Homo-oligomer: A and B are copies of this chain.
Amino acid sequence: MPLEDSLNRHKDSLLAALEVDDRARLDAQLPELRSADIAEILQDLLEDEDALRARALLDCLPLERQASVIGHLHGEEQLAFTAGMGDDRLQAMLEEMGADERADLFKVLDDDRREALLRRMAHQEREELKRLASYEEGTAGALMTSDYVAIPAGMTVSRAMMRVRQTAPDAETVYQLYVIDPEGRLAGTMSLRQLMVARPGARVDDLMIHDVIHTTVDTPQEEVARVVARYDLLALPVVDEARRLVGIVTHDDALDVVESEATEDIHKGMSIGALEDGVSRVPLWSLYRKRVTWLVLLVFGNLLSGAGIAHYEATISAQVALVFFLPLLIGSGGNAGAQAATLMVRGMATGDVGVRDWGKLLGRELLVAGSLGLTMALAVAPIGVFRGGETVALVVAISMIAIVLFGSLLGMCLPFVLDRLGWDPATASAPLVTTMIDASGVLIYFSIATLLLSGG
């Protein structure tokens, strides 16, 4: 298994061979490497601003391999290679690519280049490319490929088998077959496994599953991935508004979606907008913009906490020991609340938690948060006695329970409220929740303090 070290060794060796133009060594070594690995070496070179050697390395590969490697790169990186290619070579490479990767590459090219390429294509090829490239990013349409095996309804098993053999080199997967009616509508599906053990004279219509799990072109990609995961699918067929089969989303693409959606959710949980690339590659300006928005918005939330503190100046001067416990109380409330919000947001994203579960989850959170608050109160009470006497200890302990309980319930409910308002529940990020709890925590703490200390 190619670990980072082994990949670096390969890279060094390849670059050394390139240096002295040792074609024999390059030709011997390159076939040993997988496209994903070569792509990573090229990415490394681009990150080191060594586009020249990256291009030279790519040129050493056969065209089919070049297409596969380019397919593993991100848009910006692809442009670093295509910029120097003539239209002829680019067109030849596009032809070697899978339909979905071809469309992805096509989308990052500039208009002139697209026009030049489209003019060189046959009508059908052109229309298919334009169609695949037209779907909105993040939908099933943008994810799918048109390289699937379609079997006309009514075909016999033996003829379907011949069709599979013919399509084998081009199709993304030949292991799941889709039966279409004369209007191109999805009529059924069967696995190659079923086909292989079936009687050659039987008709596919009698073998296929009629009730096919499918999705539509405009379905969001996270939902597509969830269906693939739920039913352990090799591929999920995609239909248009007339139920015509227009593509399939394969298991490897679903896996990539789950990974990238999780990354997006994790970033959102910390009030970072969706990045268009990995954190080590995304432009600094973009990284700044995606982080600054909420940071500045939350300034106003934090000003509320400050105003709260200012409002209770008299209480604070009367009992300065109270300030000592302020960070502890609002910090604990914020942490417990962020935990509760995170549990809900992730539960909703994976489908584990639905809006109908709200009541039940509220009851559970009350119990857990109550226990958490009680534990923290017990932990902090002795310190309260030590720093400010028994009354302060009582104020701190009661405030701890109240703030942890309030914070947890706020954190738990916020994602549901946002969802209800048609917002993304993930907006209930840790920074937003903790800022809200900081401000309310100040009020809760000093209200309890004013009440108990003035009365005592």
Interface residues of A (CB under 8 A from B): 1, 4, 32, 34, 36, 164-165, 168-169, 174-175, 192-193, 196-197, 211, 213-215, 225, 227-234, 251-252, 254-256, 258-259, 262-263, 265-267, 269-272, 278-280, 284, 287-288, 291-292, 294-296, 298-299, 301-303, 305-307, 309-310, 313, 316, 320-321, 323-328, 330-332, 334-336, 338-339, 342-344, 346-347, 350, 352-354, 356-357, 360-361, 364, 367-368, 371-372, 375-376, 379-380, 383, 430-431, 434-435, 438-439, 442
Contacts and interface: CB of A to CB of B under 8 A. Distances in A.
Given A287-B364, A295-B376, A280 B353 contact: yes
Contact of A310 (B266, B324, B346): B324
Contacts of A255: 225, 228-229, 251, 254-255, 258
B361 A280 contact: yes
Contacts of A342: 266-267, 269-270, 272
A331 B435 contact: yes
A324 B353 contact: no
B350 A263 contact: yes
Nearest to A343: B279
A332 B299 contact: yes
Contacts of A332: 295, 298-299, 302
Copies of this chain in its oligomeric complex: 2
A347 B270 CA distance: 14
Given A339-B270, A350-B263, A357 B280 contact: yes
A315 B168 CA distance: 78
A275 B231 CA distance: 23
Contacts of A197: 165, 168-169
Given A279-B347, A306-B323, 11 more contacts: A34-B231, A36-B231, A232-B252, A259-B350, A270-B338, A278-B353, A279-B344, A284-B368, A296-B375, A302-B327, A430-B430
Contact of A431 (B279, B302, B326, B335): B335
B353 A279 contact: yes
A413 B372 CA distance: 30
A1 B213 contact: yes
Contacts of A367: 284
A8 to B, nearest CB: 9
Contact of A259 (B32, B258, B431, B439): B258
A343 B267 contact: yes
A231 B196 CA distance: 27
Contacts of A213: 1, 34
A327 B309 contact: yes
Contact of A335 (B225, B295, B346): B295
Given A259-B350, A280-B347, A309-B326, A336 B291 contact: yes
Nearest to A225: B255
9 contacts: A168-B196, A175-B193, A258-B258, A284-B364, A296-B379, A299-B328, A306-B327, A327-B438, A334-B431
A389 to B, nearest CB: 15
Scoring A267, A270, A309 by chain B CB atoms within 10 A of each residue's CB, the highest score goes to: A270
Contacts of A360: 280
Contacts of A305: 327-328, 331
B302 A323 contact: no
Nearest to A373: B295
B271 A335 contact: yes
Nearest to A330: B327
Given A292-B372, A299-B379, A229 B214 contact: no
A271 B352 CA distance: 20
A229 to B, nearest CB: 5
Nearest to A172: B232
Nearest to A335: B431
A230 B252 CA distance: 9
Contacts of A431: 334-335, 338-339
A383 to B, nearest CB: 7
A315 to B, nearest CB: 12
Contacts of A192: 175, 192
A371 B228 CA distance: 42
A4 B351 CA distance: 10
Nearest to A324: B306
A264 to B, nearest CB: 10
